[in-house]
Amino acid sequence: MASSDKTINTDVPEKDVFAIHFLQSLSNLTTQNPFNSPDTTNYRARKIKKAAYVSMAKAAGGSSRLWSRALLGRAAKENNKIVRFARRKRKVTWKISSKRRSDQRAPEATDRLRNLVPGGGTMETSKLMEETAHYIKCLSMQVKVMQCLVDGLSPK
Partner 1 sequence: MDISEEKRNRDSAVNYDSVDNPAVDWQVSSSNPVSAPIDSYTQENLISACPSSCSPSQMMDSFGQTLWYDPTSVQAVGYGGFSVQNNGGNASSSSFRGNVDRSLEMGWNLPNLLPPKGNGLFLPNASSFLPPSMAQFPADSGFIERAARFSLFSGGNFSDMVNQPLGNPEAIGLFLQGGGTMQGQCQSNELNVGELHNDASTVVKEPNVRSSEQLKPNVPGSGNVSEDTQSSGGNGQKGGETSSKGFDTRKRKRNGQNSEAAQSHRSQQSEEEPDSNGDKKRNNEQSPNSPGKKTNSGKQQGKQSSDPPKDGYIHVRARRGQATNSHSLAERVRREKISERMKFLQDLVPGCNKVTGKAVMLDEIINYVQSLQRQVEFLSMKLATVNPQMDFNLEGLLAKDALQLRAGSSSTTPFPPNMSMAYPPLPHGFMQQTLSSIGRTISSPLSPTNGGFKRQDTNGWEGDLQNVIHINYGAGEVTPDPQAAATASLPAANMKVEP
Binding site for partner 1 (CB under 8 A): 5-8, 10, 13-17, 19-21, 23-24, 26-32, 41-42, 44-49, 52-53, 91-94, 97, 109-110, 112-113, 116-117, 125-126, 129-130, 132-133, 135-137, 139-140, 142-143, 145-156
CB 31 within 8 A of CB 53: no
- What's the start-to-end Cα distance of the chain, in Å? 29
Nearer to partner 1, 17 or 74 (CB): 17
Q: Quickly count: other Cβ atoms within 10 Å of residue 47's Cβ.
A: 17
**CA 74 to the chain's CA centroid:** 10
Nearer to partner 1, 69 or 134 (CB): 134
Question: Smallest gap, in angstroms, from Cβ of residue 36 to partner 1?
Answer: 14
Type of residue found at 86? A
Question: Smallest gap, in angstroms, from Cβ of residue 104 to partner 1?
Answer: 19
Q: Quickly count: other Cβ atoms within 10 Å of residue 20's Cβ.
A: 16
Question: Smallest gap, in angstroms, from Cβ of residue 81 to partner 1?
Answer: 12
User: CA 104, CA 70: separation in Å to the nearest integer?
Assistant: 24
- Alpha helices by DSSP H, listed for 62-124, are 66-78, 94-101, 110-116
Nearer to partner 1, 87 or 91 (CB): 91
Nearer to partner 1, 18 or 69 (CB): 18
CB 145 within 8 A of CB 19: yes
Nearer to partner 1, 116 or 121 (CB): 116
Question: Smallest gap, in angstroms, from Cβ of residue 108 to partner 1?
Answer: 9
Question: Smallest gap, in angstroms, from Cβ of residue 83 to partner 1?
Answer: 13
